[in-house]
């Protein structure tokens, strides 16, 4: 640890305070940070077509984001994922990756990674690899360019695929994330899996979650992954495996393709009992659960003083309030989103 850091009394105190543990005995070792609420896509399940974004002055600066992430790393966070919005549209975001990579070098951080829509990936892949990023998640819900445009409203599939190949060539391990959408990509999942596995990428499927108003009925989008799995099993041999990446996905190995398929099932099988994650928005709001409204403001303590003791106390107090879990419901009677904020605010 650099000398100036060791000498700061609050750093020593934080290190002594030990790892973050909630009242259910779950250690918080994984932080997801949304570095911007903005995005160059408008995916139909994530955002409304016309979104009001935060004024730029409300955002944490890159230095503040670094300080915040580092405070968590000091308290035992081993895995850091930058997300958004679209993280790669935040100006100078590579400066943040570069500075955070020092925690990889010291060994305090095990993994620095990102979730991206891939639109800007071709430009940044080599730099990401140089920062010690090893694995990234790229969201692609369909391989049909017209459908891709319809789902993302603004996206261009060819650019994203170019990003994925550039990332692969730069030595990054790519996992493809696809939200399973009723009628939209449900009949394409088998061929997407064959493509992903053929390219050497894992594929994870995600159930759509009721987060924020998107101008469409969630019930019309929602496709239970239990149904998807049953359908895949008519053609493929899926074997449950213990493989984990620190996130909520449960994996199977697919005999016919030799690849791995993940299921992220917040609706059909809630995975809260093993939750090791918290999320911070680009304004420094800490959400202890993706599916609950309770939050803690970390921007005020961050800006109040250069001494991290105040920030550490605010983090401790918030982790103490981490709830047992979410209670997502998608059905015809429940028309309200579980929480008002969009996935792009909290970060996926």
> Please, which residues have CB within 8 angstroms of residue 166's CB and are 6 or more apart in sequence?
121, 122, 125, 126
Kindly tell me which of 29 and 137 has the beta carbon lying closer to ligand SF4. 137
**CB of 84 or CB of 248, closer to ligand SF4:** 84
98 annotated ligand binder: no
Q: What is the DSSP letter of 38?
A: -
For residues 43 and 267, which CB has a smaller minimum distance to ligand SF4 in the complex? Answer: 43
- How far is the C-alpha of 37 from the C-alpha of 336, rounded, in Å? 22
Which pair of tokens denotes residue 190? 């088998």
Q: Name the residue among 312, 317, 315 with its Cα closest to residue 13.
A: 312
Three-state secondary structure call for residue 196: helix
**Cα–Cα distance list, 273 to 1, 24, 26, 322, 336 (Å):** 34, 9, 8, 12, 25
Query: Which of ligand SAM, ligand SF4, none lies near 42, with the C-beta cut-off 5 to 8 A by kind?
Result: ligand SF4
Neighbour tally for 278: CB within 10 Å: 25
Residue 341 CB coordination number (10 Å): 17
Q: Give the residue with the Cβ less far from ligand SF4, 8 or 147.
A: 147
Is residue 28 part of an annotated ligand binding site?
Answer: no
Please indicate if the annotation marks 251 as binding a ligand: no
- 39 assigned ligand-binding residue: yes
287 is in an annotated binding site: no
Distance in angstroms (rounded) separating the CA atoms of residues 185 and 192? 9
Pick the closer one to ligand SAM by CB: 20 or 214: 214
Q: Which residues pair with 175 in a beta bridge?
A: 137, 202
- Positions that interact with ligand SAM (CB under 6 A): 39, 45-46, 83-84, 86, 115-117, 139, 177, 179, 206, 208-209, 211, 343-344, 348
Q: How far is the CB of 211 from ligand SAM (least distance, A)?
A: 5
* Euclidean distance between CA atoms 84 and 9, whole angstroms: 33
The residues binding ligand SF4 (CB under 6 A) are 39, 41-43, 46-47, 84-86, 117, 139, 152, 344
Query: Which residue, judged by CB position, is nearest to ligand SAM in the bound state?
Result: 348
**Residue 94 annotated as lining a ligand binding site:** no
Q: Where are the beta strands (DSSP E) in 185-303?
A: 202-207, 238-240, 250-254, 260-264, 277-280, 285-287, 295-297
Tell the smallest beta-carbon distance from residue 161 to ligand SF4 (Å).
15
184 is in an annotated binding site: no
Q: Which residues carry a binding-site annotation for GTP? A: 32, 81, 115, 175, 277-279
Q: Which residues carry a binding-site annotation? A: 32, 39, 43, 45-46, 81, 85, 115, 139, 175, 209, 272, 275, 277-279, 289
Q: Which residues carry a binding-site annotation for [4Fe-4S] cluster? A: 39, 43, 46, 272, 275, 289
């Amino acid at each position: 640890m650099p000398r100036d850091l060791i000498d700061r009394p609050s750093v020593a105190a934080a290190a002594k305070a030990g790892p973050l543990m909630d009242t259910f005995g779950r250690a918080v070792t994984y932080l997801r940070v949304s570095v911007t609420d903005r995005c160059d896509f408008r995916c139909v399940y994530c955002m409304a077509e016309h979104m009001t974004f935060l004024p730029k002055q409300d955002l944490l600066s890159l230095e503040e984001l670094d300080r915040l992430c580092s405070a968590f790393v000091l308290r035992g966070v081993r895995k850091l994922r930058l997300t958004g919005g679209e993280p790669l549209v935040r100006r100078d975001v590579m400066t943040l990756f570069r500075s955070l990579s020092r925690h990889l070098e010291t060994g305090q951080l095990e993994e620095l990674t990102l979730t991206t829509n891939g639109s800007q990936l071709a430009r940044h892949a080599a730099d990401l690899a140089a920062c010690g990023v090893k694995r990234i998640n790229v969201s692609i819900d369909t391989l049909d360019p017209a459908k891709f445009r319809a789902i993302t409203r603004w996206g261009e599939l060819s650019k994203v695929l170019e990003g994925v190949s550039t990332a692969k060539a730069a030595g990054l391990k790519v996992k493809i994330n696809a939200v399973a959408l009723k009628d939209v990509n449900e009949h394409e999942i088998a061929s997407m899996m064959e493509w992903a596995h053929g390219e050497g990428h894992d594929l994870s499927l995600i159930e759509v979650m009721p987060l924020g108003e998107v101008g469409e009925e969630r019930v019309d989008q929602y496709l239970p992954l239990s149904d998807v799995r049953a359908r895949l099993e008519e053609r493929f041999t899926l074997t449950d495996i213990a493989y984990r990446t620190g996130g909520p996905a449960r994996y199977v190995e697919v005999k016919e393709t030799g690849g791995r398929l993940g299921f992220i099932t917040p609706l059909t099988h809630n995975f809260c009992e093993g939750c090791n994650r918290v999320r911070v928005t680009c304004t420094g709001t800490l959400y202890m659960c993706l599916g609950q409204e309770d939050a803690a403001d970390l921007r005020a303590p961050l800006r109040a003083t250069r001494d991290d003791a105040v920030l550490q106390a605010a983090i401790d107090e918030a982790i103490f309030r981490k709830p047992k879990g979410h209670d997502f419901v998608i059905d015809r009677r429940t028309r309200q989103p579980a929480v008002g904020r969009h996935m792009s605010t909290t970060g996926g």
